[in-house]
Amino acid sequence: MDVRAADFAGPWSQHVSALDDPGGLSSLLSTVPPLSPDTSTMEAYDAFSSNPSLYALAVVDDDERPVGILNRFTFLERLSRPFGRDLLTPQPVERAMDPAPRVVDECVSLDVLNSALVDDTTKYMSDGFIVTRTGRTTTA
């Protein structure tokens, strides 16, 4: 589900572009290269192992559009289950990702983002979300 300022009506329709707001969403971004759905789960494991502060990885299609998110804790928990490593490591990331990530356009104000995240329980606060620019990841 994409969250874009244009999708909100009423008081939320007044948004501040992240480009105009130095304290906005863009100031909080950490740019991490995304994975493709066919990336091996071992590559994802290596990415998480080499960066302890990395909590999630975006999974994108060939056009850099988000198709999923891989949460560090969920992924490592699946690997730690009995036979988890043997069953999951030969698989592509597509098999381990959440195929319904929260996707947020970079121009959404922090107030709108906060409201959207709070309204959707705590799932996206712990699982993470993907920030896009015109529907594509902001890694470029």
Q: State the CATH number of the domain containing residue 68.
A: 3.10.580.10
Residue 117 has pLDDT above 80, yes or no: no
Distance separating alpha carbons of residues 50 and 10, to the nearest angstrom: 44
pLDDT, one tens digit per residue, over 17-37 is: 444 455 567 767 777 889 999
Q: What is the pLDDT of residue 65?
A: 92
The confidence band for 126, taking pLDDT boundaries of 50, 70 and 90, is: low
Enter the pTM of the model.
0.74
What is the residue range of 32's domain?
2-137
Distance separating alpha carbons of residues 98 and 13, to the nearest angstrom: 29
- Tell me, rounded to whole angstroms, the distance of Cα 86 from its chain centroid: 26
Q: What is the pLDDT of residue 97?
A: 94
Report yes or no: 127 and 103 within 8 Å, Cβ to Cβ.
no
Edge-to-edge strand ranges of the sheet holding 102-105:
2-3, 102-105, 129-133, 136-137
% of the chain at pLDDT higher than 90: 34
The confidence band for 119, taking pLDDT boundaries of 50, 70 and 90, is: low
Report yes or no: 61 and 130 within 8 Å, Cβ to Cβ.
no
The confidence band for 124, taking pLDDT boundaries of 50, 70 and 90, is: low
% of the chain at pLDDT higher than 70: 73
How many domains are contained in the chain?
A: 1
Residue 68 has pLDDT above 80, yes or no: yes
